[in-house]
Structure 1
């Protein structure tokens, strides 16, 4: 352990930017001629464990979207309870991600991982055995408290057990697991809720997270952090944790319910947002004086870290919004069933999976990431913009082609942005903090992006529907534009004149097209930031103080 720590400390002042071009080229040539070190089998089982975590977290987010209406109907839940069943998990993740990252950096990754697995498992049991919606909400909240740790620790631990030199290909493996979860989640949610029984969504997750615990306990061999547990606990930023929990809750809730449960101008939304934003001032003072601050502001010491973090925020704001609204687009504009719409998004999902892997492998081969960043963000911007031209009269082939190329851009940007941030970190022991911050801002971006898109959708839809003076009884619910998204599955069942139907589908079409333009503007900013990002060397063999230690060396 001492030698590993000395190695990490010896590179504190030698940031990636300090390596000259000749040195980088020489290192690249040297790495090409040297055979890769053979890993202990426990390393590969640890990678399997991290991939299972990525799969679990993504499944839990995507599978419930189709299962929740079935659960609410069977348990006689109200719309209010259904909303909280959905938001409870997101809230749990939002307030715990940076806390887990900070605790794991002081106490140790494995202890934080065990805690998150325990909470997630308890939440699975509560969810699977629930007999009323309030219990479903409680189970989802506890799962979120554990899921926040699983989500952020999977990438942090990967940074611990790999060097920057070898990391691109392993990030490709995790990206594949995340993408597979996103693709299969809706199908699993629909099949389990309609055919097998929705409680099995909880039992399957419990079994999977149980296997994850066994793999972590027996095969994840990390160098322990020396020191007394009491000293470690005293170092933790308890004041920061408490304040951030309040801030995260106060900001995440109104972003989630705005224009759905309450309006943007309601006192519930405004008061909560204002309180959360005002508390940022004392939070900044608390973090400045903390021995080990929860927000690792010390890592933001170069342009590439800043641009990479902002790019991660922008990526989160686009990714979840695209995955939510694209299936709804096919249901509303082409009047497809939910299962047909899920199949129609396969071109995007498949290319996203493929390119996240291919981009990682190309970066691993070329040892360069800026070109991949430029290509990824440019593809996203171009084909999000071109999606504006897709409507009810557009051929399916054109719609599928545009979204496939959009998926290629999303996959490429996902892999390259993560690698760019890690390559820009100057101290190897700060890499876990940097990636934890990136995962957190990406999640916060998704909340803000969804809130913005929800508001835009309601506003544009209401404007488009204003052409109808009096709505037929079957469409009366659409007088409240916040109900427009929830009404989409019923569009195929209504019986109205063709003229009225054209106005309704046209209002939906305009709303979706406006969202694509707004998201394209976000992506355009990401493309600009990718130009400002510097190319740093990937030839770093440093291992952090919690690096992987094979059993044979113990």
Structure 2
């Protein structure tokens, strides 16, 4: 092959002057696709391209037209060694952003107890998910406008600033605010990392490095709850956030030293005009107006109170305004045309419902293990391992099996059924449930979710044209995450309402003992109650957890029903797969 290229190069050099006009014609055709042309001319272009690509040495000076063809077959834009060292930093960024979403699960009960703010506990997660969801779709556009390097450094610094503030928080309100800042940074880390990988690695090597990123997500999901439990018991829950600071330095250093991608700036007014400011603002406001009544309903306010009703009405009005704004936007964050595609809308719905169920289980299972089973924070993290391992195993297995079972729907059907069965079985968990039941039920839930998430993303990509794949991939992640935020808020409201109604049935003497141990503010204090009162309280908690799983099960069932209407889709060509929905 190399000898053939060298021979043809020599012939071209010898006849360079004679073929000058012909070469200029071919260069014109390479810049602007020709319409028509004789078969002989088309055949002559093939060896010409084979010779020019290996001989190109000025990769850093790729022009704007060539940048548009990166997804087809990009040339390397930085040195091999620099690319590998940069990838280490990118993998660290992915690890941090993914870890931050799970490490808080086992630490949350202790945080709520320390700040005596159990009613606000869900907002520690919800505030993070809110900013993560609102800004994730924009980071891709911002990186095109302002450059990859600037935006990933902005995301890294923002994430580290949020981590430092959360680690030093003096109250629940301050913690929630800095968690929102963390979410703003994390959304950029997760989005831009995969964009940069597409820039620096050629197509044939890209799946290898993308699979490493997926593995990092899986590892952080397993390590997160366990590490959170270790910090709570051995040091302090504040290290759940402070650990991001030294690790974040690795990402910043690798980006500063090794990320040098070609970038052509536009006029500032043109750049800013491409940002959908109104769409982003209304997404944030709309989501808040949806989350607030779900969180406050039945606890801070009655469901029939004017405040709750007014917030739901405002949310409905804002959704209508948001649809109108996005229909007029030049580059909409959520393009309305995608929702005209029935299959895409169904997949968004499945992702949304899966997120609701998944986050509800992963945030309330540790509380079950700590209150009902008397497990410490570290042990409760270990109890989550079956579900997370099931998720990772199913995600990898579905990717491998898809090459043989060439129908996305099969995996979504099986996954939603398994999730429904798993959450249904979790209703059987009580104070006497053995380790086998705990592991088995959560493993089934994890396997189901693992089959759904990755396959839904690939199916959504297959349902749209190539130019919409990046947008639809980001929206799959958006709907999954926003579903998780609403799921947590919903479960929190249901949990508090059911628990309060259970305690209301106790005699005044029992309530006096409970008040003495401050159970309302500290969940872990349940273990310190007198044995007879503890048995009564634990029984109420058991029934409350069973009620939560009873509510999550039909959500999984609805996801299955939606998936039945998904039409059979074409299989993606490898060059079309965009691994961007984490």
Structure 2 equivalent of residue 178 of structure 1: 217
The CA deviation at 1:355 is 2.2
Structure 1 equivalent of residue 485 of structure 2: 447
Structure 1 equivalent of residue 275 of structure 2: 236
Residues 436-515 of structure 1: pairs in structure 2 closer than 5 A:
436-465=474-503, 467-470=505-508, 471-476=510-515, 487-497=522-532, 501-515=534-548
Residues 175-214 of structure 1: pairs in structure 2 closer than 5 A:
175-197=214-236, 200-214=239-253
Flag the structure with larger Rg.
2
> Matches of 2:402 and 2:260 in 1, distance apart?
28
> Matches of 2:515 and 2:138 in 1, distance apart?
46
The counterpart of 1:388, out of the listed 427, 435, 445, is 427
Q: Do the aligned partners of residues 202 and 394 (structure 1) sit closer, same or farther apart at CA in structure 2, a change above 3 Å counting?
A: closer
Residues 462, 507 of structure 1: 8 Å contact kept: no
Q: Do the aligned partners of residues 543 and 59 (structure 1) sit closer, same or farther apart at CA in structure 2, a change above 3 Å counting?
A: closer
> Matches of 2:308 and 2:199 in 1, distance apart?
40
Classify the secondary structure of the residue corresponding to 2:279. Answer: helix
TM-score (normalised: structure 1)? 0.78
The counterpart of 1:530, out of the listed 531, 549, 563, is 563
The CA deviation at 1:168 is 7.3
For residues 61-117 of structure 1, the C-alpha deviation after alignment (integer angstroms, 9 at most, x for no partner) is 33345556767888x786788776665434432432333344346555554333222
Q: Does 1:58 align with 2:104?
A: no
Residues 228, 381 of structure 2: 8 Å contact kept: no
The CA deviation at 1:312 is 1.0
> Matches of 1:277 and 1:298 in 2, distance apart?
20
The CA deviation at 1:271 is 3.8
The CA deviation at 1:495 is 0.4
> Matches of 2:304 and 2:404 in 1, distance apart?
52
Which runs of no fewer than 5 residues in structure 2 stay unpaired? 1-63, 73-78
CA RMSD of aligned residues (A): 3.9
Residues 156, 433 of structure 1: 8 Å contact kept: no
For residues 525-551 of structure 1, the C-alpha deviation after alignment (integer angstroms, 9 at most, x for no partner) is 22233333323212242599x9xxxxx
Residues 164, 538 of structure 1: 8 Å contact kept: no
Which range moved further: 309-318 or 505-514? 505-514
The CA deviation at 1:337 is 2.9
> Matches of 1:146 and 1:231 in 2, distance apart?
25
Residues 175, 415 of structure 1: 8 Å contact kept: no
Residues 78-117 of structure 1: pairs in structure 2 closer than 5 A:
88-104=127-143, 107-117=146-156
TM-score (normalised: structure 2)? 0.75
Which range moved further: 318-327 or 454-463? 454-463
Residues 376, 412 of structure 1: 8 Å contact kept: yes
Which range moved further: 293-302 or 433-442? 293-302
Which range moved further: 79-88 or 194-203? 79-88
For residues 506-531 of structure 1, the C-alpha deviation after alignment (integer angstroms, 9 at most, x for no partner) is 33222222322322211122223333
Residues 163, 540 of structure 1: 8 Å contact kept: no
Classify the secondary structure of the residue corresponding to 1:392. Answer: coil
> Matches of 1:168 and 1:522 in 2, distance apart?
33
The CA deviation at 1:131 is 6.2
Residues 229, 379 of structure 2: 8 Å contact kept: no
> Matches of 1:412 and 1:347 in 2, distance apart?
15
For residues 457-482 of structure 1, the C-alpha deviation after alignment (integer angstroms, 9 at most, x for no partner) is 33444454555343342224899xxx
Residues 65-464 of structure 1: pairs in structure 2 closer than 5 A:
65-67=105-107, 88-104=127-143, 107-128=146-167, 136-154=175-193, 172-197=211-236, 200-217=239-256, 224=263, 227-259=266-298, 264-266=303-305, 268-363=307-402, 368-427=407-466, 429-464=467-502
The CA deviation at 1:331 is 2.8
Residues 81, 137 of structure 1: 8 Å contact kept: no
For residues 412-439 of structure 1, the C-alpha deviation after alignment (integer angstroms, 9 at most, x for no partner) is 2222222222222312x32221121111
Which range moved further: 275-284 or 287-296? 275-284
Equivalent residues, number: 509
> Matches of 1:91 and 1:525 in 2, distance apart?
24
Q: Do the aligned partners of residues 6 and 406 (structure 1) sit closer, same or farther apart at CA in structure 2, a change above 3 Å counting?
A: closer
Classify the secondary structure of the residue corresponding to 2:430. Answer: coil
Q: Which has the higher contact order (CA 8 A, sep 6+)?
A: 1
Which runs of no fewer than 5 residues in structure 1 stay unpaired? 10-38, 547-554
Q: Do the aligned partners of residues 434 and 477 (structure 1) sit closer, same or farther apart at CA in structure 2, a change above 3 Å counting?
A: farther
Q: Do the aligned partners of residues 264 and 148 (structure 1) sit closer, same or farther apart at CA in structure 2, a change above 3 Å counting?
A: farther
> Matches of 1:430 and 1:46 in 2, distance apart?
28
Residues 107, 229 of structure 1: 8 Å contact kept: no
For residues 142-200 of structure 1, the C-alpha deviation after alignment (integer angstroms, 9 at most, x for no partner) is 22322233344455666777899998776654443233323322332343355445554
